[in-house]
Amino acid sequence: MNQNKPSVIATGDFLYFAPAGQAFTVPQAGVVSNVSKPGVTDPIWTTFALGTVKKPTQDKWDGKPVKISAPMPGTGIVVTTNIIRPTQGLQMMVEMNELFRVALAGFYKSPLIMLTDTALYPLSRSDGLQGWLKRQRYDAAKGLWITDDWWVDVDVTDLATDEENVIHPKFQFEWLYSPLAGTAI
């Protein structure tokens, strides 16, 4: 996709998740953490796939500006000379088409639900659910337009139902710092 010129883009998003503490094998054996990320072909991405996005993602940036002031030469009048934002945050909020184990664990604040688990335990997890979020955003021609790899804290804010009583979990991903995070365009 040529991103040299502004254009109107209709997109479709697919989300994948690799939870902290889980083992992976590609590109080499490791454990998921903010300094250890599975390779793009590792099966962990499909093991904990979140599915397709029902409603477009909403990326929200939050920054607290701090104005730097100094006197104008020769006048003594203090004016703003710069603005810095030392505190910043990034969130992604989505509503999904599918209900997966990660959504249930996130909503009920239970430990991660594994394939062999037959139950979940609500309100038994006090720490956040963290891991790598991979968002693949495709354009209307089904070309890969952008890929995000974010180290995130996951919160599931709602298990909404539509007119046909199909459950659509609503996720909120809070970007956390990792030296491996990035976006490919």
User: 147 in a domain, yes or no?
Assistant: yes
In the predicted structure, residue 91 carries a pLDDT above the cut 70: yes
Could you report the per-residue pLDDT of 150-170, keeping only the tens digit for each?
A: 999 999 999 989 899 999 999
Number of domains in the chain: 1
User: 46 in a domain, yes or no?
Assistant: yes
User: 71 in a domain, yes or no?
Assistant: yes
Could you report the per-residue pLDDT of 9-58, keeping only the tens digit for each?
A: 556 788 999 999 999 999 999 999 999 999 999 999 999 888 888 876 76
Q: Per-residue confidence at 1, pLDDT binned at 50, 70, 90?
A: very low
pTM for this one?
A: 0.83
Q: What is the residue-wise DSSP string for the chain?
A: ---SS------EEEEEEEETT-EE-SSSSEE-BTTB---TT-THHHHT--EEEEEEEEEEEEEEEEEEEEEPTTT--EEEEEEEEEEEEEEEEEEESS--HHHHHHHHTPPPPPTT-----TT---S-EEEEEEEEEE-TTS-EEEEEEEEEEEEEEEEEE-TT--EEEEEEEEEE--TT-EEE-
User: 6 in a domain, yes or no?
Assistant: no
User: 4 in a domain, yes or no?
Assistant: no
Domain of residue 117, residue span: 12-184
